Amino acid sequence: MLRFVRQRVTASLISLVGLIVLVFFLSRLTGDPTNLFLPIDASDQMREQFRQLHGLNDPLIVQFGRYVWDLLHLDFGESIRQARPAINVVLQAFVWTFQLAVITMVLVTLAAVVCGSLAAFNAGGLFDRFVSLLSLIGAAAPDFWVAIVAITLLAVKLSWLPTSGTGTLWHWIMPIGVLFIRPFGLILQVVRGSMLSTLGSAYVKTARAKGVRTKSIIFVHTLRNALLPVITVIGDQAASLLNGAVVVETIFGFPGVGKLMIDSILQRDFNVILAAIMVTALAIFVMNILIDLGYALLDPRIRY
């Protein structure tokens, strides 16, 4: 088990290094930040002083070497826009994204597992067809379109919910609701398919023949063995929420790391871009390792 963890950590670190190199040089292609932070009529001397202050006047390879050296000393640099450590800016925003992702995934997992299990147990019935239709619609609906429709209908026309912000519980309903739809549809389909396969097993037929209660058959005998492929999809969708809530956070003005990335790219705040990418990537790597370890808890044979 420890050998497996070491291998996954090593592979994740290699991927992270490649990601840092790629993002560092690509972010520099967005343009000169002096055009954003200095007046249009700024003199060449003022621009040179600005570049000197933020270490932007050296060749790119020199800037990259200095950044890597600072990174090895856990120095992520300073935000040009906010004049404070970039890692502090990112962690402050990441807390909001993490809360949004955790709440959404808990609700999605509970709803998808229960609905998918009941749909599989009553395959072909009215509930199965209704839930399957909803899941297919949810999996196909684009997040940005659902978000715009939700704002237009629930906030503008009906005035039931606020359009943006995080001040109250009502501010969270639309972002969570929009992020809920797609993973719910995908996970429900996987739960249903996996449960259908498991319900046809010999031990399930034996349990039914012995008169075991329906709830016990579904949630005790069948669900545990059907969860292995489901965990993979749950992990993928959780990673997508951490990495892909950019559009939803931007539309709803949610102060998460996704919106921070967009703002930092537009404002050419290079250190914040890199810090945001690294924090998000590390969170995804840790999540994937935990999912792999979860396999061993559900099925001891995988440990070998």
Domain boundary among 72, 107, 134: 72
d(CA 180, CA 172): 12
Please give the mean pLDDT across all residues of the chain.
84
Residue 291: pLDDT above 90? no
- 123 and 267 in a single domain? The answer is yes
Residue 296: pLDDT above 70? no
Q: Which residue has the higher pLDDT, 66 or 53?
A: 66
Q: Which residue segment(s) compose the domain that 48 sits in?
A: 2-72
Question: Of the ranges 49-53, 77-81, 169-173, 298-302, which one carries the lowest mean pLDDT score?
Answer: 298-302
Kindly state the average pLDDT of the residues 169-187.
91
Contacts of 81 (CB under 8 A, 6+ apart): 37, 264, 267, 269, 272
d(CA 12, CA 286): 9
Question: What is residue 282's predicted lDDT score, i.e. its pLDDT?
Answer: 87
Q: Tell me, what DSSP letter sits at residue 166?
A: S
Kindly state the average pLDDT of the residues 148-177.
89
Question: What is residue 272's predicted lDDT score, i.e. its pLDDT?
Answer: 92
d(CA 115, CA 71): 46
Domain boundary among 10, 44, 72: 72
Residue 84 lies in a domain: no
- CA-based nearest residue to 82, from 289, 260, 215, 303: 260
Question: Of the ranges 123-132, 152-161, 295-304, which one carries the lowest mean pLDDT score?
Answer: 295-304
Backbone angles phi, psi at 78, to 5 degrees: -115, 140
Contact 77, 67 (CB under 8 A): yes
- CA-based nearest residue to 287, from 248, 249, 236: 236
Residue 81 lies in a domain: no
Our count of domains for the chain comes to 2
Tens digit of each residue's pLDDT (9 = 90 or more) over 182-228:
999 889 988 888 888 877 777 777 777 777 776 676 666 677 777 77
Residue with tokens 């929009």: 178
* Host H or E run for residue 176: helix 169-199
Question: Of the ranges 80-89, 140-149, 206-215, which one carries the lowest mean pLDDT score?
Answer: 206-215
Q: Enumerate the β-bridge partners of residue 78.
A: 85
- 140 and 175 in a single domain? The answer is yes
Residue 277 lies in a domain: yes
**C-alpha pair distances (Å), 86 with each of 13, 67, 74:** 21, 13, 11
The overall pTM is greater than 0.85: no
Question: What is residue 281's predicted lDDT score, i.e. its pLDDT?
Answer: 87
- 62 and 147 in a single domain? The answer is no
Residue 55: pLDDT above 50? yes
Tens digit of each residue's pLDDT (9 = 90 or more) over 57-76:
888 899 899 999 998 888 88
State the Rg of the chain over Cα: 24
Domain boundary among 45, 72, 99: 72
